[in-house]
Amino acid sequence: MTQALLLSLLLVKYVFAYKIIWDNDAQVDLNEIDEEFLNLGDPRMPNLFIYPGENNNMKNLGNQPRITELIENTVSHISEYSWKTSEGKILKLFVCEEEGTKWCGPGNRAKSYDDLGPARRSDFCCRDHDHCPEFIRAGESGFGLNNTGLFIRLHCDCDEAFYNCLKSSKSLTSWQLGNIYFNSRPKSICFKKDYPIISCNSFIKVGLNYRCLDYILDPTNPKKYQWFDHPKY
C-alpha cells in the first residue's frame, strides 16, 4: 500500500469525517424529510456510510477493501480493516452499508433494477449513478487518462446527474451522501472531453483542498479527455 493511499485514508479518517455528523447548519429542510427516515430511526444519530458508486459494473478492486468514510458511531453491518504505516502506526478503516438503501453501499443487494430500499429517493440516485457507462477504476487507465486515486472515477455527466438528483431529493440521507461523495474525499474529480485546460480563473476551498470553479479553456485546440474538479455539495 503506497504512502499516498495511507495519507489519503488518514485524511478521510481525521479531517473530513466530522462533516457527515449531524450539523445544525445543514442545508436540509426538516419539513421535507418524509418517509425516508420513518424506518431509519433518529436522523440526528451519527452514522457511518460507504461512499456511493461501487456497484454493478464497478467491481471492487481485487482483494482490497472498499474505501469508506469514518464517522463517530455506526449503524449495522460493520467490518474493520487495519494496516501498519511505515512509522508503525495502526490505521483502522471501518465499513458500513448505507442504512435504508440497496444501491448506496458495497455490492448489489437489490433483487432487480426496480428494487429500492426505504430511502427510495436516495436509492434512486445511487442506482442511476451505479449504471454510469463511462468510468475508470482506481489504478487503471482509460480515455487517455490514468486514475492514480483511491476511487473509481466517473464521467462528469454522471456525477453531475448524481449531484442534481441528490439535491432535488431534499432528504437528510441525500445530503449525507452528497457530502460524502463530493466533499469528504481529498481529491474529488471526474473526467470529460473538452477543450484543453489552460488555467483556473477562480477557486473554492473544500476541506484542506482547493477546487477550480471556473476553468480557462483553449478553444483553438481539439477537445480531449481531462480531469475536472467536482463542485462543492
Residues annotated catalytic, as ranges? 129, 159
Say what angle helices 156-169 and 120-130 make with each other, to 10 degrees: 180
**CA distance to 11, 37, 52, 169, per residue, from 7 (Å):** 6, 35, 21, 33
**DSSP conformation class of 44:** T
DSSP string, 95-141: E-PPTT-SSSSSS---SSTT---SSHHHHHHHHHHHT-S-EE-TT-E
- Distance (Å, rounded) from C-alpha 131 to C-alpha 122? 15
Task: For residue 205, count other CB atoms closer than 10 A to its CB.
Answer: 9
Q: Are 110 and 104 in contact (CB under 8 A)?
A: no
**Residues 178, 6, 146, 199, Cα dihedral to 10°:** 70
- Distance (Å, rounded) from C-alpha 126 to C-alpha 132? 10
